[in-house]
Amino acid sequence: MESTFRSAEELAAATRAGEVTSAELADEAIARIERDDKVFKSVRPVINCFVEGSA
């Protein structure tokens, strides 16, 4: 699901309808940040502290 141009309200409705999971939306957002954040690389260390120990 490409959620880039969908509002939070639309994404919440899609989640409630079972069209997408919150984990899928989070994965998509992380991938978009990693792709677009070429200068600062600022988000990845913060995300890793939540993701690495949760699986």
- Cα separation, 33 vs 37, in Å, equals 6
Domain ranges within the chain, ordered by starting residue: 8-51
The whole-number pLDDT of residue 30 equals 81
Half-sphere exposure of 46 (CA within 13 A, CB side): 7
The whole-number pLDDT of residue 50 equals 56
| pTM (predicted TM-score) | 0.63
State pLDDT tens for residues 15-36: 999 999 999 998 888 888 878 8
